[in-house]
Amino acid sequence: MTLTRKTLVPTTAALFALLISAAFLAHSDPTCVAGEQCIRSDEAADQSAPADPDPVAGDGGSTDEAEATYVVRPGDTLSGIAQSHGLAARALAELNGLRIDSLLHIGMELALPKAAPAPEKPKPQFYVVRKGDSLWRIGRRYGTTAPVLAEMNGLRLKAILPVGLRLQVPSGEGGGPASHGDGDSLVETALNYRGVRYRWGGMTTRGMDCSGLVARVLNLHGIDAPHNSRALYKIGKSVSRARLQPGDLVFFNTTGRGISHVGLYIGESKFIHASSRRGQVRVDSLTDGYYDRKYVGARRVE
């Protein structure tokens, strides 16, 4: 074919346009698509890559909190610990398989419900001994027991307290005096005298009679009590035999002339008393034929 000047110019121009277009395409981003916005390849890679996974918290173990524990300190009571953790004393006792009146031992670990708030450390509180005070009397005032006070202050349980002695006591009054309360504590004290010989009119470890034993135990616990079985029958409130609790006073007519004998009920149909027949402080059963027949009634000292 013969090219003329008229056909050569448009053909050259078209070829030149094709070369420029090819060069442009060679340097363009392959991700560009006609009719869409074009982005740089590194931006496309960033947008198409999956997001980083969230960092793993902890070691992958369970996030549930383990049950907290509390270590019993001097002066602690079940009700005091429960109150400081926002709990009911009975709930704390049940959680640890204890009775509501159980004695706590220093160093004992108590389980607490999950997420229980940490207790505030109580400030030390002190009491100055006055005339007539005893560990039992002071313990009742502060809602604790004589053994706890003795251990807190490095004293013997039967120590004589000089007037003016400064004793550390549990912080706060614990809601007021412990009720006769501590029937178990009365029993514990009375059992300390088991084996002491019988002595009419006595109320010491050298010898004691029935009302002497009971009056001594009550007095040690801060309860004013007369040294006479008939007079003891007039204090407190009457309790039926079916409702006897440890610490209740039990009375007998052993002479046929009214109240003549008294003891302290310790539970399971048993009582402790100073027996003139056996010559010592001992434990006997209310269901025993003799005492069953001679039984008159019982009183609970509040």
CB burial of residue 203 (10 Å; 0-12, 13-18, 19+)? buried
Sole residue written with tokens 């009491």: 127
Phi, psi torsion values for 246, nearest 5 degrees: -55, 135
Answer yes or no: 273 catalytic: yes
Please state, in angstroms and as integers, the Cα–Cα distance from residue 92 to each residue in 101, 107, 226, following that order. 12, 17, 38
Is 105 an active-site residue?
A: no
Return the HEC string of the chain.
CCCCHHHHHHHHHHHHHHHHHHHHHHHCCCCCCCCCCCCCHHHHHHHHCCCCCCCCCCCCCCCCCCCEEEECCCCCCHHHHHHHCCCCHHHHHHHCCCCCCCCCCCCCEEEECCCCCCCCCCCCEEEECCCCCCHHHHHHHCCCCHHHHHHHCCCCCCCCCCCCCEEEECCCCCCCCCCCCCHHHHHHHHHCCCCCEECCCCEECCEECHHHHHHHHHHHCCCCCCCCHHHHCCCCEEECHHHCCCCCEEEECCCCCCCCEEEEEEECCEEEEEECCCCEEEEEECCCHHHHHHEEEEEECC
The phi, psi pair for 4, rounded to 5°, reads -100, 170
Catalytic residue among 85, 210, 221, 227: 210
Active site residues: 210, 261, 273
